[in-house]
A and B are shown apart, each in its own frame.
Chain A
Amino acid sequence: MTGGHEVVVTGTGVLCATAADTDAFADALRAGRSGIGVRPGSGVDGLSPRLAADLSGFDFRTAVAARSGLSEPLRRLAVRVAGRAPLPVQAAVVVALEGWQRAGLHHVPLPAERIGVVVAGHNLGGRYADEVRPRYATSPVHLPARYPLQFMDTDHVATVSHVLGVTGEGYTVGGASASGNVAIINGARLVSAGSVDACLVLGALTDLSAMELQGFYNLGAMAGTGGADAPGERCRPFDADREGFVPGQGAACVVLESAGSAARRAAPVWARVAGYALRLDANSLADPSAAGETAAMAGAVRSAGLTPERVGYVNAHGTGSAAGDAVEVEALRAVFGGAVTGVWVNSTKGLIGHTLCAAGVVEAVATLVQMRDGFVHPNANLRRPIAADCRFVGDRAQPAGIEFALSNGFGFGGFNTSVVFARPAVPSRRQP
């Protein structure tokens, strides 16, 4: 990218069906562990969705207590501020605390007004609304008076900033399933422009209401429409027998920081945000577009000052939907040409479901741990790949030294995003 401050990642946090923090996530990805199962209480008639990759055994107070490296007053404040918050907000606080700690912001702080918070997502609390609605239906006056704060997605920004004492810029951004990357792009711009020295980018847990889930199901976008036998095998990105996505509960954090600030604080540098692109399709439908996806990937590679063959790995959007995966393959071929045979491709969604608005940030963390640890994680259930020329990871993790990685996020309504991460100390351009 030209101009502005160099943007690096100094911290990560994650919470999903298979992991409660970044290191556990790295282990789960390497092992190819799946978090997909049948959601208890779902219907058995084939008329409504049954499969989900839900958090297992999440308890907010336990999760906060587990961040024992943080001060006791900070942990107490987190419980005081978010102890009765809806699940998505509690998840945001937990991943933000992890990112904060890993970035060393508790240890070598920055001025509060030099830190920002950008939250990826919209329509985050549908399931919470489902929980509150019966109260309203029975007796409107007994609706919790806290509800107007809680139903606004901006509660994520407010609560996290309250807990961490952050007073720089903050807001939510949306781009359907591309929201995570849209937020990373916005956070990177804040840091690059010097508006903040560090920015917590939070992928918010998208907890759909029953009606919202049913809508995706009726649209034919979800796996399991023909029943839910062998739940672990129904989400199969890039497989000929794929049938759609499985929703996953997940949240994640990346701490973006200027390289100068990171150096001054001696913060760990995971990667550099080397480039990005966001393109619309001028299309309000759910149809993916190879042209739009190609423009996003090619634009991101170009903005990083790279040629495509230097990219070693693509964390695909790869939801497991019929049209989406085929179009992404077409776009990969258009971007990489003959080099497509050398680029590792996997989809994290096959293991932890589609975390929707959080996906871009969750998958950024997946990309970063694979770069850090030198592997690419397996593709779940990929028995009959839809493209023989693509270098899909098989059912086992493979060792891989990734210098440059692309992380894709595409959303209904024509949102196409791609972000390039570079391993630290690997310059995109030759030094002048």
Chain B
Amino acid sequence: MDDPVLAAIRRSVVEVLPEVDGQLVTEDRSLTDLGANSIDRVDVVTMTMDDLGVTVPVVEFREVHDIGTLARLLRRHVR
């Protein structure tokens, strides 16, 4: 089963992009691969932070280029 961070990302993706099959939300894919536009991507990030109860400075997202790097960044801030 997923770790909580990937599960939260999956919830946000499916809410922002209802047409996307949640099973496609994997660490080797990017949000763009899943059909997210520029605003969808920031929405997914904000909603996931909210879901996990974490706050990440905007500057740290510069290193994010796919779902795997996003998950790793968020994991560093959980707890």
Contacts and interface: CB of A to CB of B under 8 A. Distances in A.
B46 A142 contact: yes
Nearest to B38: A145
Contact of A146 (B18, B19, B39): B39
A145 B16 contact: no
Contacts of A83: 18
A43 interface: no
B interface majority secondary structure:
helix
Contacts of A146: 39, 42-43
A80 B39 CA distance: 12
Contact of B50 (A84, A142, A149): A142
B55 interface: yes
B6 interface: no
B31 interface: no
Contacts of B50: 135, 139, 142
Query: Interface extent on B, as a size class?
Result: 10 to 19
Contact of A142 (B16, B18, B39, B49): B49
A46 interface: no
B45 A145 contact: yes
A145 B18 contact: no
B43 A145 contact: yes
Contact of B39 (A135, A141, A149): A149
A182 to B, nearest CB: 30
A109 to B, nearest CB: 25
Interface in B1-47: 16, 18-19, 39, 42-43, 45-47
A142 B55 contact: yes
Nearest to A84: B16
Contacts of B58: 141
Contacts of A135: 50
A252 to B, nearest CB: 28
Contacts of B56: 141
Main secondary structure of the interface of A (DSSP, over half): loop
Contacts of A149: 39
Interface range on chain A (Cβ under 8 Å from partner): 10 to 19
B55 A143 contact: no
Contacts of B43: 84, 144-146
A349 to B, nearest CB: 37
B42 A145 contact: yes
A145 B39 contact: yes
Contacts of B46: 141-145
Nearest to B19: A80
Interface in B43-70: 43, 45-47, 49-50, 55-58
Contacts of B16: 84
Contacts of A141: 46, 49, 55-58
Interface string A133-161: 00100010111111001000000000000
Contacts of B55: 139, 141-142
Interface in A100-144: 135, 139, 141-144
Contacts of B19: 80
Interface string A89-105: 00000000000000000
A135 B51 CA distance: 13
Nearest to B49: A142
A142 B55 CA distance: 8
A135 B46 CA distance: 11
Nearest to B35: A80
A327 B57 CA distance: 57
Contacts of B45: 145
A144 to B, nearest CB: 6
A83 B18 CA distance: 10
B19 to A, nearest CB: 8
A149 B37 CA distance: 14
A84 B42 CA distance: 14
B7 to A, nearest CB: 19
Name, among A139, A141, A143, A145, the residue most crowded by chain B CB atoms within 10 Å (CB to CB): A145
Nearest to B45: A145
A146 B39 CA distance: 6
Given A141-B49, A142-B46, A146-B42, 15 more contacts: A80-B19, A84-B43, A135-B50, A139-B55, A141-B46, A141-B58, A142-B49, A142-B55, A143-B46, A144-B43, A144-B46, A145-B39, A145-B43, A145-B45, A145-B46
Interface of A: 80, 83-84, 135, 139, 141-146, 149
29 contacts: A80-B19, A83-B18, A84-B16, A84-B43, A135-B50, A139-B50, A139-B55, A141-B46, A141-B49, A141-B55, A141-B56, A141-B57, A141-B58, A142-B46, A142-B50, A142-B55, A143-B46, A144-B43, A144-B46, A144-B47, A145-B39, A145-B42, A145-B43, A145-B45, A145-B46, A146-B39, A146-B42, A146-B43, A149-B39
